[in-house]
Amino acid sequence: MNKRSMRILGFYQVQNMLVQLTPSRLSKEIARRLRPSSDETEIRQMLNDTEEAYLCLQREVSTPFGGITDIRPALEKAKREVTLDGQECVDIWNNMERYSAVQAYFADRKDLYPHLYEQAQSIGEFSFLSHKMAQVFDQNHQIRDNASPELLRLRNRIMELERQTKRYMQSVLQSKEYQKYFQDVLITIRNNRYVIPVKQEYRHAFPGIVHDTSASGSTLYIEPMAIVNANNDLQAARIGETREIEKIFRRLTTQVREKYTDLYESTLCTGQLEFIFAKAQLAQQMKACRPDISKSGLVRLLQARHPLIDPKVVVPNTIVLGGDYRILLITGSNTGGKTVSMKTLGLLVLMHQAGLFLPVTEGSELPVFRDVLADIGDEQNISQNLSTFSGHMKQLIYIIKHCSANDLILADELGSGTDPAEGSAIAIAILEELYQKGAYVMVTTHYNDLKNYAYRTEGIENAHVEFDVETLKPTYKLRIGSAGSSHAFSISERLGMPKNVLEKARDLRSKAQDVNMEAILTKLNNQVKQVDEEQAELEKRLQETRRLEDELRKENEKVREKRQDIIDSSRREAVDLKRGLRLEAEKIIRELKEQTKEKLTEKERTKAIEQARRAIQQISLPEAQVEKRDPVDLARLKAGQQVYVNSLSGLGTVTEINCKKLTVSVRGMTVRVKASDISAPYLSEIKQEKQAEKKEATRSSYRPIRTGAVATEVNVIGMTGAEAMPVVERFLDQALAAGFSPVRIIHGKGSGALRKAIHAFLDRQPFVTSYRLDDAQNGGDGVTLVYF
C-alpha cells in the first residue's frame, strides 16, 4: 500500500491505538509492523482471527495472555553457547508455563475457535525442560539448596562456618576485656568478611586486619586475627557455591539450546496471538463489526464513523460506491465534512485490508483494493518552488501514471488553486482518465462545471454534505444522489463578514450565468431533505404499527387459547361426569339384577337393563363453542395443503379436490367433506400438529396390541405421569366396555415413579376390583394386571 496515503488518511494513528492495547514487547513489534494487504486470502484469514478473538472476549471470563517476556535475546545467547544468568533462566521458565496455558486453553475450545486453535498448535511441548527449571528454582525464583548435590553440600558448609564465626564474634563482643574498644556491640560485614567496629584510638590494642573505616574516621572495621582462617574458609565455600551455580546455569543453557527452535517459534506464536486479541480489543473499543468482502466490487459502508473522531460527536454516514457508478463527486460547504467523508472511506479500506474490524453497522461490505492513492491537503513547498496547484498536480500526475483497475483514488478539491475554468477542464479530463482505467474514485469540489458533468455522465454520481441554512451550520450528513451548494455567503455571514460587503457580493452573484443552477440545487436539496425526513418518519411509524400489530396478535392468541382451555376443561368435566354416571348406573344395574332374579323373566330383565344403558349413553355433553374462522379460497386450494375440518374439529391434509367435494386425511382417516365444511387453520394449530406428528413418530411403541377392535394391553414406557394418565384412562374405558378382564398396563421398571402414579390412579377407579404386578416371565415389576 502507498505509504503516503497511509500517513494522510491516519492509518498510523489507528496503528498506535492498537500498539497501546498489546501487552508484550513482541506483540507491540508485530502491531508496529502491521500493514494493509491486497491478498484476499490473507485478508480473510486475518479477519477470521480477529472475529474468533472478538467472540472469545465476549464469551469467556478470562484469556491466558499477559506476563509473557521477550526471551529472544536469551535464546540467541544460548544458541551461541553463552551461559544464561538466573533472571534469563527464570524468564524462559515463566514463558514456558504461559505457553502451556495458552495451548491448553485453545485445545479445550478448538471447536469454538478453530483458527486460533490451529495457530496455538505451533507452540511446542516443554514439560521436561520446565521440570528441570522447577528443580533449580523455587516459586520465589530463588535457587533451591538441592538444585544439585554439590550445591547442597556447599550451602550446608557455609551455614556451619557462618554459625561458628558468629559464635566466636559474639564471645569477643561480650568479653569484658575488650568492651571499651568497641564503638558498637554488633557484628557487621565488610568485603564479604565478618568484622567488628573498633574505636580509632584502640587500633593497635585490638589485633586484627582493618577492612574499612567510617565516614568520620572514628571507627575502624577490624577482622579479628583469630577468625581470619574461618573467614577464609567461608570465602572459599562461597566461591565454590558461585562456581556450582554457574555449572547449573550451563547445564540449563545447554538444555535451552536444544529446544531453541521450539522456544523461538512458540514465542512468536504467542506474540501473534496476543496481537490478534489486541485487534479484538480495538474492535470492542470502537464498537466495530466485521464487514463482508464484496464479490461484486460494491463499496457499502452503513453508518460509517471515522475512528479517530470522538464517538460522542462523530456523525455516522452511509457511503456507497460501485455498481452503477465508480466515481462519487462530493460538493457542499466548506467545513461541512466533505474531506472527513473521503478520509473515512480511505481509512476504513486500509483497516479492513489490515484485518481490523470497522466502526460500521452489520451488512456493510468492501471489495479488496490493490492500492489506495490519496491527494488530500496542501502540498505547497517553498523550498521546491511548488505552489498549491503545482503540489496537487504533481501528486495527481503520480496517481494517473501508477493507478490501475481496483485502485481507490481519493482527491480533495480536484482542479483547485488555478483559474476556475481551466481547473474544471483539467478536473473533468482527470476523471475521464481514471474512469477509463477502471479505478474507484471519490473527489471533492466546488466547481459547478463538475456538478453538471456528473449529472450528465454515466458512471459518475453527485453527492453533497448538508448545510442548515437556518442555523448557518453544517450537519455533516452525506447525501448521495444530488449536488450541493458551497454556501459561501452563509458561512461568511456566520463568521462576521460586514453586511455591505455581503450585499455587494450577492448582487454580483445574481448577475452570473449559473445563478439559476445554484437556486435549483438549493431547492432540490431542500426537497430531498424533506423527503428523507418524511421517509424516516414513515419508517418509524411503520415499525411502531408492526410492533402494535404483533402485540395485538399475541394478545388475541392468548385470549383464544384461554377461551379454548376453558371450553376443553368444561368438556373434560362433563366426560368425567358421564363416566361417573355410567359406573354408578352399572352398580345400580347389578343391584337390580339381584333384586329381580325371581320376579322377572330373563327376557324382561335383559330388556330393562338394556333400556337403562341406552338412556345413560344418550346423556349429551356440552358442545364445544364453534369459533368463526376465515374461509378457504377454493381457487387457490391445492392438494397437500392443510385445512381445518369444522365437523371433525381438527386439522387435515387435502389429498384430492373434486368440485365442491374434498378428500381430506384427518388423524389417519380419509374422509370426504364438503367445501363448506373446511376453514383456514391458525398458524399455532399447524405448529402444534407438526409437534404432535413428531411425538407420534417417536412413540410408535406406545400403540397398544389390539384384539379385534379393542386393545388388551397398553405400553406407556417413556411417558411422564401426566402424559400416561389420559392414555391409560382411555384404554381402561375401552376394555371395560368390551368386557375384557384382566388387561395389561406396560409401564416399565425405571425409577418406579410411573408405576406408583398408575397404581394411585387405579385406586380411585370404582370399576377396578383389583390389580397386581405380573409374574417374572411376563414382565414382573414392569407390568400391572388390572381386573374389573
- DSSP 8-state assignment for residue 482: S
Peptide bond into 742 cis (omega under 30): yes
Q: Give Cα 4 distance to the centre of its chain.
A: 35
SS (H, E, C) 104-126: HHHHCCCCCCHHHHHHHCCCCCC
Residue located via cell numbers 565454590: 240
CB 456 within 8 A of CB 321: no
How far is residue 259's CA from residue 536's CA, in Å, rounded to a whole number?
Answer: 65
Q: Is 554 annotated as a binding residue?
A: no
* Residue 69 among known ligand-binding residues: no
The C-alpha cell at 772 is: 397386581
Burial class for 80, CB neighbours closer than 10 Å (0-12, 13-18, 19+): exposed
Is 10 annotated as contributing to ligand binding? Answer: no
C-alpha cell at 690: 407438526
DSSP annotation of 358 reads B
Helix or strand holding residue 342 (H, E): helix 338-352
The reply, when asked if residue 335 is annotated as ligand binding, is yes
Using an 8 Å Cβ cutoff, are 45 and 247 in contact?
Answer: no
Q: How far is CA 776 from CA 164, 773, 783, in A?
A: 88, 9, 9
CA dihedral 334, 339, 344, 346 (to 10 degrees): 170
Which ranges in 108-184 belong to alpha helices (H)?
114-120, 127-136, 149-173
Q: Which of 435, 221, 228 lies closest to 321, judged by CA?
A: 435
Cα separation, 461 vs 245, in Å, equals 76
Q: Decide the pairing of beta strands 407-411 and 371-375.
A: parallel
Taking the CA atoms of residue 469, residue 470, residue 476 and residue 481 in that order, the dihedral angle to the nearest 10 degrees is -50
Check the annotation: does 593 bind a ligand.
no
Taking Cα atoms as reference points, which of 542, 487, 17 lies closest to residue 281? Answer: 17
Residue 206, phi then psi, degrees to nearest 5? -110, 115
DSSP letters for 380-429 = -BTTTTB-HHHHHHHHHHHHHHH--TTEEEEESSTT-SS-HHHHHHHHHH
Nearest residue to 143 (alpha-carbon basis) of 77, 241, 254: 241
Q: How many helices (H) and strands (E) does the chain have?
A: 22, 25
Is residue 338 part of an annotated ligand binding site? yes
- How far is the CA of 186 from the CAs of 172, 174, 183, 326, in angstroms? 10, 10, 9, 89
Distance in angstroms (rounded) separating the CA atoms of residues 573 and 238: 99
511 class by beta-carbon count within 10 Å (0-12 exposed, 13-18 middle, 19+ buried): exposed
Residue 652 labelled as part of a binding site: no
- CA distance readout (Å), 474 to 334, 486, 548: 9, 11, 37
| Rounded Cα distance, 386 and 398, in Å | 15
Q: Which residues pair with 666 in a beta bridge?
A: 669
All cell numbers assigned to 199: 574505636
Rg (CA), the chain: 47
d(CA 687, CA 424): 66
∠ CA 600-738-616, nearest 5°, is 55
Residue 343 annotated as binding site: no
Q: Which residues are annotated as a binding site?
A: 332-339
User: Residue positions in the annotated binding site for ATP?
Assistant: 332-339
